[in-house]
Structure 1
Amino acid sequence: MNPSLVFIDGDQGTTGLQIHERLRGRTDLTLITLPATERKDATRRAEAINACDIAILCLPDDAAREAMSAIVNPAVRVIDASSAHRTQPGWTYGFPEMTPEQPERIATARRVSNPGCYPTGAIGLLRPLSHAGLIPANHPVSIYAVSGYSGRGRVGVEQYEGPGAVNAPSFQVYGLGLAHKHAPEIQQHAGLSQRPIFVPAYGAFRQGIVLTVPLDVRQLGPRVDGATIHACLARHYAEAPHVQVMPLHESSALTQLDPQAMNGTDHLRLSVFPNDEHGHVLLSAVFDNLGKGAAGAAVQNLNLMLAQ
């Protein structure tokens, strides 16, 4: 069988570089690359994207839409790592662990939207619970997350590693207008009927994410508690190699969460922290924003599509 042709459009960005490195040396595919002088040449990019079997778009949203408009070869399949198509009809959401049917949907899809980094953690926690009825669809959900500065792409890396790094803030909360572009993606794929409150932040570390969702179980129903929530997550991800649900006896021994704990892996670690006395539960997700939150997820989706 001939190797599949894969073109990474935007292979010099933070995510594109990671994907390129992960695919280097594989014998089941051939990477189509453009020399530096042709990367911004619309004609050469169009030729490359129409010559491949699978294109991976690592571009800003508008550029991703432009790349899609250049595709005239109906055989070309696409993984879009931008946020341009994550809530669009006709696109398959590239979170294989979201439902039992999702891996097959991704494997046979023509158009796959790679999840956002923050949504990977939020949806990973919330989707199984909303599907099981433990969190009502109309429940007011609040999400708090801190990412490494590479989550901003090359701009973030330059701010913290470039000449002006001495002036880079140690911590910054952003999205203060509560209009972050990830909120609709989380709402749709987590099975929520109303927009969640999402408060993101960047820390002075290169990569890694810790995302938390606080819940008051008294608002969820008389039979819902931390143990019930944990059992639901553990059951949902029992056969998922890239998602770890920390046992309750292990999470109860923790006093802090390190956003960098899963760096260098493609794993998503979920935890449940119940406080039965006060009726509160804290859900958490820790993962590498460049691993399961970006490049690792894209390669996971690529592998599913290549196996079809």
Structure 2
Amino acid sequence: MTISVFIDGAAGTTGLEIGDRLAARRDLALISLDDTQRKDTEARRQALNDADFVILCLPDDAAREAVALIDNDRTRVIDASTAFRTADGWTYGFPELEPGQANAIATAARVSNPGCYPTGFLALVRPLIRAGLIPADWVLSVNAVSGYSGGGKSMIAEFEGGGETTAFRAYAMALAHKHVPEMQKHARLAHPPLFLPAVANRYRGMVVEVALPLHAFLRRPSLAACEAMLRDVYRDSPIIRLAEGDAALVRIEDDAETDRLTIRISGNSDLGQARLTATLDNLGKGAAGAAVQSLNIMAGIEPTTGLNL
């Protein structure tokens, strides 16, 4: 049986990326609205209730409004906004996060897509926190840089219209970025991490880094123990992989144009210091690829179908 999918916000950056991944799928039927209907509440209400699956690619308030328009108990929702990432009753759409997370997504009626920065951060630290190699009460610092497409249409216009010419711009200087509660909750940390994001003058791609003073942790885990744990956790993952060989060079474009995520582990064993790095596409595993992965899992389809790995 063909599964019907409605992308609400299909004309936005993430919506277009999801549409591209689903366009050639014969197992899915896309419900679409023309330009005159996209802002028509009744047309959207009908599409939202007709679909088996809805993917919301909207600002937070609009995503909440869209969910309220669904008046049946059949339509299942994947939300790509920040609105529900820490909300009760929503399943976090990161299948690799915990043992059993994919099964939880498979049966969920409401799934919240992870943020792009939290995806890299959680992939690096959650397995080590779960294993006790990183203390849950440690204050972690996260450095990250994303391509400007992560800022949506306004930031794309700013960079591509000549309004911004810098190669690198740090932001969220007040340490109050909207991704911080998501990072803390799903990493299961006692304290909010120090999140230091930046944007690069590049359309897509992302680097997320976490430095670990292993010598200061109570258990004093070795660099090799951290690497062994991450390799074991992601050994069978088709999407999250650990880089082999020299990790001396890490580039923002390493996993751009893909739906995968690559982890690199480096550091200084003598000093007891580790440097964990994740590269991903902010529009791939950081957004559209993650939504399609969750859709596949919820629909009982091979999780990597339609993804570029």
TM-score (normalised: structure 1)? 0.95
Partner of 2:305: none
Partner of 2:20: 21
Aligned residue for 2:55, secondary structure, equals strand
Residues 221-236 of structure 1: matches in 2 within 5 Å? 221-236=218-233
2:253, 2:169 → 1: CA distance?
Answer: 17
Partner of 1:272: 265
Partner of 1:238: 235
Matched, 1:295 2:292: no
Partner of 1:99: 98
Per-residue CA deviation, residues 138-187 of structure 1 (Å, 9 max, x unaligned), is 0110000000000001112111223x35x432211000010001011011
Out of 197, 200, 204, which is 2:201 matched to? 204
Contact 2:247 2:265 in 1 (8 A): no
1:198, 1:54 → 2: CA distance?
Answer: 33
Out of 294, 300, 305, which is 2:298 matched to? 305
Partner of 1:142: 141
Please state how far the C-alpha of 1:78 moved relative to its aligned partner. 0.1
Matched, 1:77 2:70: no
Contact 1:86 1:93 in 2 (8 A): yes
Per-residue CA deviation, residues 207-228 of structure 1 (Å, 9 max, x unaligned), is 0000100111122234401111
Out of 153, 163, 177, which is 2:174 matched to? 177
AA matched with 1:306 = A
Q: Which runs of 5+ in 1 are unaligned?
A: none
Contact 2:93 2:113 in 1 (8 A): yes
2:153, 2:58 → 1: CA distance?
Answer: 12
Partner of 2:120: 121
1:173, 1:127 → 2: CA distance?
Answer: 25
Query: Which is further off, 196-205 or 216-225?
Result: 216-225
Per-residue CA deviation, residues 48-73 of structure 1 (Å, 9 max, x unaligned), is 10111100000011110111111101
Q: Which runs of 5+ in 2 are unaligned?
A: 302-309
Matched, 1:48 2:47: yes
AA matched with 1:293 = G
Please state how far the C-alpha of 1:132 moved relative to its aligned partner. 0.3
AA matched with 1:231 = A
AA matched with 1:7 = F
AA matched with 2:6 = F
4+ aligned runs moved over 2 Å, structure 1: 253-256
Partner of 1:283: 276
Partner of 2:34: 35
Matched, 1:88 2:81: no
Please state how far the C-alpha of 1:254 moved relative to its aligned partner. 3.3
1:100, 1:256 → 2: CA distance?
Answer: 31
Q: 1:217 to 1:24 in 2, by over 3 A?
A: same
1:23, 1:101 → 2: CA distance?
Answer: 26
Please state how far the C-alpha of 1:35 moved relative to its aligned partner. 0.4
1:256, 1:25 → 2: CA distance?
Answer: 36
Aligned residue for 2:207, secondary structure, equals strand
Per-residue CA deviation, residues 238-260 of structure 1 (Å, 9 max, x unaligned), is 1111001124xx1xx33321011
AA matched with 1:287 = L
Please state how far the C-alpha of 1:94 moved relative to its aligned partner. 0.4
Contact 1:108 1:305 in 2 (8 A): yes
Contact 2:54 2:78 in 1 (8 A): yes
AA matched with 1:98 = L
AA matched with 2:282 = N
